[in-house]
Chains A and B, each alone.
Chain A
Amino acid sequence: MIFGRLPLEQSHRLLTGGAIDRLKPLSFSFDGRSYRGYAGDTLASALLANGVTVMGRSFKYHRPRGVMSAGPEEPNALVELRSGARREPNTRATMIELFHGLRATSQNRWPCLRFDAMEVNDLLSRFLVAGFYYKTFMGFPGWHFWEKRIRAAAGMGAGTVEHDPDGYETMNAHCDVLVVGGGPAGLAAALTAGRTGARVILVDETDGLGGRLRSERDTLDGKPAIAWAASVAAELADLPEVRVLTRTTAFGIYDNNLVGAVERLADHMPVPPAHVARQRLWHIRPQRVIVAAGAIERPLVFGGNDRPGVMLAGAVRTYLNRFAVTPGKRAVVVANNDDGYRTAFDLAAAGIDVMQILDTRSASHGAWRERALAAGFDVAEGSAVTNAYGRMGLVGCDIARLDGRGGTVGDSRFVPCDLIANSGGWTPSIHLHSHAGGKAEWNDQIAAFLPGSVRSDVVTIGAARGRFALSDCLSDGFKAGAEAASSCGFGTGTAPDAPITDEVPTAPLQALWSVPPTPGKKVKRFVDHQDDVTVEDIELAHREGFVSVEHLKRYTTLGMGTDQGKTSNINGHALMAAARGQSIPTVGTTTFRPPYTPVAMGAFAGRTTGRHLAPTRRTALHDWHAANGVVFIEAGPWLRPQYYLQPGEAVSKETMDRAITDEVVTTRTKVGISDVSSLGKIDVQGPDSAEFLNRVYSNGFAALPVGKARYGLMLREDGLVDDDGTTSRLSDTHFLMTTTTVHAAKVLADLEWYLQVVWPELDVRVSSVTEQWAGMALPGPKAREVLAAAVDPGADVSNEALPYLGVTCTATIRGVPVRIFRISFSGELGYEINAPADWGIAVWEAVMEAGEDHGIRPYGLEAMGIMRIEKGHVAGPELDGRTTPDDLGLGRMASTKKWFVGRGMLDKPAFTDPDRPKLVGLVPVDGVSRIRAGSILVDDPDAATPVPKLGHITSSAYLSPTVGHPISLGLLARGRERIGQEVWAVFPLRGIRVRARVTETCFVDPEGKKLHG
């Protein structure tokens, strides 16, 4: 058992009421201490039920903080949830659903929550004002010294260094109407739209439907409103085309109304069930979006307003009504709107002493006030809390009368209390509206921004557009749902009647952006609780010229915490507006950006990570390699044989080197076979095929005879080399092009481009046939004998019938029709055999069998690489996108007789500069030193920096088994003129320098006798 001690009793839990399940007690721990809560609790409500008031520490001053809200806006009560590889720092206690065995710890404190050494920052706070770090730490001992200390103190929770064991996935959905938010407005909208038969998706961030109804004691048609919500939920569940996703946050609207949403499938459980992802990221593509995201309450800004026990009034009602928790025993209520009264009634109903209702409005004569007075509450108008006291929990507060001009009248009065419920009005959640490109329009009546104009396919309703009365939310919802469905072709567009509410009409609020301090007291008034931004910080920013809201934000970090200013931005911007003497809409607001609430990186990544980061491409011969000692290597998406171990060998440097050398030697002296299936193969058909190839290749293809292959070079439009490969003419109008593995997709796309866009007059079709054919190269002096033995009787592969660059499509091997090309990358007598992929292994085995007596062995990429360097063939490192044909010694392949892609650029001065690096061979003068690829070629390695450079080594073989010493290729300035001379190949990263002799590029059989043999 992880819980050593007995659970404490839930001292702050009401005996009845709430939506918790008292029959399902759950044990959990916080900071190592065991507690008990109920199913339906959040961590915050369960801690409050157990009388725990301090749940976190603030970012900068490390002030003890309690819970301020009951929702996603929570800035204070952030904890580390779970442990080990699943540790999740900065998790809002208000959003953690309680589960059995939950473990959470406080964060950003040392050594513990109650005694935090970093609280010294609070004492030093007068130095640590906004932006102090820009003004100091510049001279000795320098920023590096201080940064270490600051980094150690900064950050909130600690991440883990272990790999997350849980899975994530993505899900796509389409619908007619998406409703974001399952409060009364969203429920009404989803229901109306759903009843028409339209495809509807309803998402809500929380674990259930009802929104604010879950927190309030409203009634609908005389019954508890929450019962109405439950009945709507039940009806929605029965509608076949409606999908309800709870625990799902719509975090952003992207172009064309793609709504990103994250569903927490298993965050309310100890670990995800087998085969179930922890979270699922939804791509929702609705025709219409209805945003019914509700509103978020604003705190009042007064002295000590961050003390544990100071809560938003709406949150207090949530704890009372939904969780049956009493967040205090003696409460003071302070508000600039009628919510104060409403809260007082709920507090009283739960048996809590309401010491005082403070209405900051100078005069309010609304119905709520009348009711409160009638009920005997002590109401003080035009008054507010001016300072709150109590480090680890509230003990009381000063209250004073406001003079309406930023000061107080008369003396303040101390009122003992352990709870302050405060409300500064409500801020509509216009985040998604803003993501969709909608404007924010200031509204004086509610003192907040409302959604302004946006396209007709995203509408915002209910509290999210400032309609705070329940009846208005409902009528908004019924109307929007009907309209959205009918615009998608469902229903008549008429809204049903809304149920009847029992609302008490409300009087307007009176904006109040900060409360003056208790006369004579120095107080801290927090605007942004998480980042410890105070009224004074905002004034300082103003003094120093950081007066635009964007500068204010960046200078003070206002609104930059995990809550993104949900509770602080409007207060902060309003205070800046006041300092500037301008209106709030003039000053404006900062930009709303996704995500609405923070989203785990893993959820975005989904399955596309780890092994699945990119799909793996296997050749048709893969299974043979795997059964025959292969070591695979990643080559782009492909897995290709790197080399083959002999039975019983394990991977090591020695076995690898031996294998590679043996593979080269076998191929050069006998015969080898390798898998070249990954080379791109493009089928080119149509009467204009030859003309087309003649245009895209720099060398001529018009006259290529049927049954012949030719090496071709392709340039980009900018004149630099793009790709190479051999192309064969299978008939007058039918060609097979091959490309390098890496460029296969790009070359196909380019060919399609020229055919579809540039030369639509050419009658040619191109298709990839890479996957259709397994490809095997069969080079070596014995290759013809092996091939002759492999092909079925009747096929003639003699030098006469199949000469160098010959092609035949009529042979069969084991009955399988194959294409045989007499081409070679290694410089040996060689063939490439293409066999339909499903028969690839059968054909490969037939060839292996035929070669057995000749000592055939398979070779991998390493041996292939060495042999192509021995031949001086160019590959990826030479085709690096910066070389011209002439740089590579392929200048003769740029025809002067015709136009081809890239020719228009070939004459640029820089491309014809004789000083350009040219491809050469390089060998160590001492005959043994390795010349590593990536070495730089210089005349004088000891020259003063910057050392003039002549070029670099592109490819190298540490040992050419054929010539018996290391060889390499490089690009060297005026290289062809330097053949026979010596240069230095330096590798300062490893302190290596090698004297190298410049040679021709071809080290083996330069006349190409073997090819033709």
Chain B
Amino acid sequence: MAEYSVFSLVRQALSGHKGWIRAWRDPEPKKSYDVIIIGGGGHGLATAYYLARNHGITNVAILEKGYIGGGNVGRNTTIVRSNYLLDGNNHFYEHSLKLWEGLSSDLNYNVMFSQRGVLNLAHSDGQMDAHARRGNAMRLNGVDSALLDRRDVQQLYPYLDFSENARFPIYGGLLQPRGGTARHDAVAWGFARGADRLGVDIIQNCEVTGFERDGDRVTAVKTSRGTIGCGRVGMAVAGNTSRVAQMVGLELPIESHVLQAFVSEPLKKLIDGVVTFGAGHFYISQSDKGGLVLGGDLDFYNSYAQRGNLPTVENVMALGCAMMPNIRRVRILRSWGGIMDMSMDGSPIISKTPIDNLYLNAGWCYGGFKATPGSGWVFAHTIAEDKPHRFNEALSLERFATGHLLDEGGKGPTPKLH
């Protein structure tokens, strides 16, 4: 049974669910493909899907070194929003958010996109002003946002710390009502199934180990499952970007850092939307299963280990307990880490590269999940048309040299600070 619907579900239920077929095939790699996408994360899968769907390019392979969705798409805190200050980012992320809004129907896969609202708290007048500037800029771009004062926030989340005991009192916050969360694994699987149904080959356990070159072109991709010829190559390997780029001699404005995330024991509904603390890096929401999903700062040092250290854990929890003193007794069930491709200005890169037929999708820092459909859309366009889509023009690789930086936080070329 290939099509998903409540009717197919009922029909299958009556026959013991014996008729369901694989969500995606498990093909052997072909000799060559028109386009090879390296990385079976959200972005790679979405790119392949939109290459086929929007550009009719179906002779496509996704090469994934492990299992699809095992990278950051499968280990993030699932927050989706488009509340960016700078136009170069805002237009791109809003495009992505619009795609999220129709994604489940488009994919015939329920990715559980839930627009429960994303609230960023503010703890000083200066922060309120900065939020206002961002919210105003969003409004002028036609994006929803609302500036809440202390009382508005208290109405939404009465259990936040509004007491005298709060070290950094809550002044208000910026709310994006259309922001929310999605089921991370479903996004990977939905795009995989969608791409597969359009003819894309998803090849797991296939690690890219090198490239064959002919001058400024890549002619084939060397993998743990043999060499595969290619027309064009799109790279979407997130935390592993520098390693793969090095195989073609590219040095990039990227450092890899570990970001931890946490899930609590499942609880009855406690937190409606997504709330982020403004006096430290902390964000929290509640999964449909009931677990509180939370995270915070990087571990601050370059790392390729998908695990972090205790000081960061404690810092995240301290911020969480300070923001929401009612969750101190809630128990953390599991912690894990993901490798972030931290760019030097904190914004992503979707770009052509000095190599003619190699395209780069990277630098997502900790914000690339929300970009998944938008990133796939414009990356597919960039690969298919050999030029950027208008929504990723600002996300070029050259911007670091020219100074057209997209530094939302104004932190400068210090990745750990973004």
Binding site for B on A (CB under 8 A): 59, 85-90, 126-127, 129, 132-139, 143-144, 147, 150-152, 154-164, 166, 168, 170, 252, 254-255, 258, 260, 281, 283, 536, 540, 543-546, 548, 550-551, 554-555, 557, 560-562, 564, 591, 593-595, 598-602, 604-606, 608-614, 616, 633-634, 716-720, 722, 876-877, 880-882, 905, 908-911, 932-936, 938, 945-947, 949, 952-953, 986-990
Contacts and interface: CB of A to CB of B under 8 A. Distances in A.
Given A143-B110, A163-B161, A600 B328 contact: yes
B21 A544 contact: yes
Contacts of A144: 114-115
B330 A161 contact: no
Interface in B118-134: 123-124, 126, 128-133
B19 to A, nearest CB: 9
B147 interface: yes
A620 to B, nearest CB: 21
Contacts of B357: none
Smallest CB-CB A-B distances: 6 pairs: A881-B410, A155-B290, A934-B132, A602-B328, A908-B403, A910-B403
Interface string B157-168: 011010101111
Contact of A158 (B267, B313, B322): B267
A788 to B, nearest CB: 37
Given A283-B310, A936-B140, 17 more contacts: A151-B269, A152-B269, A154-B288, A157-B265, A162-B159, A164-B328, A545-B23, A550-B67, A562-B333, A601-B327, A609-B321, A609-B322, A613-B318, A614-B167, A634-B123, A881-B412, A987-B132
B297 to A, nearest CB: 14
Given A139-B105, A164-B329, A544 B20 contact: yes
Contacts of A882: 405, 407, 410
Interface string B139-176: 11110011100000000001101010111110000000
A561 B405 CA distance: 44
B363 interface: no
15 contacts: A134-B4, A134-B110, A135-B109, A135-B110, A154-B268, A154-B290, A155-B270, A159-B327, A554-B74, A593-B334, A601-B317, A602-B329, A722-B412, A986-B140, A989-B136
A163 B413 contact: no
Contacts of A86: 329
Contacts of A595: 332-335
Nearest to A610: B165
A785 B130 CA distance: 41
A546 B185 CA distance: 12
Given A614-B167, A634-B168, A910-B402, A161 B126 contact: no
A88 B110 CA distance: 33
Nearest to A985: B136
A614 to B, nearest CB: 6
B87 interface: yes
B329 A545 contact: no
Given A986-B140, A988-B136, A163 B265 contact: no
A692 to B, nearest CB: 22
A299 B238 CA distance: 40
A417 to B, nearest CB: 30
Given A134-B4, A544-B20, A609-B321, A89 B132 contact: no
A931 to B, nearest CB: 12
Contacts of B300: none
Contacts of A137: 6, 110
A880 B320 CA distance: 27
Interface in B169-200: 169, 183, 185-186, 189-190
B87 A949 contact: yes
A8 to B, nearest CB: 30
B285 to A, nearest CB: 12
A987 B136 contact: yes
Given A127-B9, A936-B140, A946-B141, A255 B309 contact: yes
Given A139-B105, A877-B126, A989-B132, A610 B333 contact: no
B327 A135 contact: no
A163 B108 contact: no
B264 interface: yes
Nearest to A615: B167
B310 A258 contact: yes
Interface string B265-305: 11111100000000110000010111000000000000000
Contact of A562 (B266, B318, B399, B401): B266
A600 B22 contact: no
Contacts of A150: 288
B110 A613 contact: no
B145 A989 contact: yes
A589 to B, nearest CB: 14
A545 B4 contact: no
B21 A611 contact: no
Contact of B265 (A133, A156, A160, A718): A156
Nearest to B174: A989
A170 B403 CA distance: 46
Given A154-B289, A613-B167, A935 B405 contact: no
B314 A604 contact: yes
A495 B15 CA distance: 63
A945 B132 contact: no
A945 B144 CA distance: 12
A136 B268 contact: no
A949 B108 CA distance: 39
B17 interface: yes
Contacts of A935: 132-133, 136
Contact of B140 (A605, A722, A945): A945
A908 B6 CA distance: 58
Interface string B16-36: 111011111110000000000
Contact of B333 (A136, A260, A564, A953): A564
B54 interface: no
B320 A611 contact: no
Given A90-B265, A601-B321, A989 B112 contact: no
Interface string B407-418: 101111100000
Nearest to A163: B325
Nearest to B159: A161
